[in-house]
Amino acid sequence: MMYVYGVETPFEYLKTLKKYKCTKHVSQNVTQDVLILAGAEDHIIPLRMYKRQFKALTNANSVTGRVFTKKERASNHCQVGNIGLALHYIVDWINSKL
């Protein structure tokens, strides 16, 4: 994560994380269609965050959620292991909104 955030030490990484806020104060402002994807065994973003975000989007036109599983080999962060499955799901969702 230090590489991702462009910092040199674990302490700098932790300081950098403080800059990021949860979305609960802005989620109610979202009014378009939303697609939320999650991995059942995501080691970076816990599944509880998916559930919280889903509930927080109270004014979205629609909210579609998908949790990818170990059986699908897509349960990790960003569906690493079966990214193609996630991409196909995204394209199908976009096409359903057109």
On whether residue 14 sits in a domain, the answer given is: no
- Is 12 part of a structural domain of the chain? no
Which residue range is the domain that position 80 belongs to?
Answer: 21-97
> Does residue 30 fall inside a structural domain?
yes
Say yes or no to pLDDT of 1 above 90.
no
Has residue 8 been placed in a domain? no
pLDDT > 80? residue 21: no
What number is the average pLDDT over the span 20-31? 88
Per the CB < 8 A criterion, the answer to whether 12 and 2 are in contact is yes
- The answer to the question of residue 67 being in a domain is yes
Question: Is residue 25's pLDDT more than 80?
Answer: yes
Q: What are the tens digits of pLDDT across the range 29-79? A: 999 999 999 999 999 889 999 999 999 999 999 999 999 999 999 999 999
How far apart (Å, rounded) are the C-alpha atoms in residues 54 and 34?
Answer: 9
Q: Contact, 69 vs 40, CB < 8 A? A: yes
Domain count, the chain: 1
